[in-house]
Amino acid sequence: MDTNKIFTNEKCIGCNRCTLNCPCVEANVAHKKDGVKKVDVDESKCIKCGKCLSVCTHDARDYTDTPAVFFLISRAGKISRLLLRPQSAAMCQNGRV
Ligand code: SF4
Ligand code: SF4
């Protein structure tokens, strides 16, 4: 299983802000499930820039909390949200990132 990824959680309402702001538009896949719109991430296209984490106003974009994803997103300036997560904060305090 690939644990290095950005993904959409259950809070998504299909507003497409992520798609409109993503540098790889094709990384966002819109679909309907039980009549509800949702936009998922195509892992094979996503470059893990972290942009969708900051533009989604529904807190519907999430990430697996691995050092690889942390490095990629923090390099793109999205570190403040990550530091709200205890696991990521612990990694910083331990000097691992
Ligand atoms: S992930 Fe967020 S920005 Fe993207 S469609 Fe869902 S609610 Fe909108
Ligand atoms: S992390 Fe970047 S490339 Fe991946 S879906 Fe979000 S905005 Fe697009």
> 39 forms bridges with which residues in the sheet?
30
* Angle value at C-alpha 44, between 42 and 45, nearest 5 degrees: 70
16 CB less than 6 Å from ligand 1? yes
Q: What is the pLDDT of residue 34?
A: 85
Q: What pTM value is reported for the model?
A: 0.74
Ligand 1 atom having least distance to the Cα of 55 = 3
Residues facing 29 on adjacent strands: 40
Mean pLDDT value across the chain: 79
Please give the CATH architecture assigned to the domain spanning 6-93.
2-Layer Sandwich (3.30)
Question: Higher pLDDT residue, 96 or 16?
Answer: 16
What is the pLDDT, as a whole number, of residue 42? Answer: 95
> Could you tell me the CA-to-CA distances from 39 to 1, 42, 64 in Å, in that order?
21, 10, 17
Of residues 43, 7, 12, the one with CA closest to residue 27: 43
The answer to whether residues 63 and 6 touch, using CB atoms and an 8 Å cutoff, is yes
Give yes or no for residue 79 having a pLDDT over 70.
Answer: no
Using one digit for the tens of pLDDT, what is the confidence trace for 39-48? 999 999 999 8
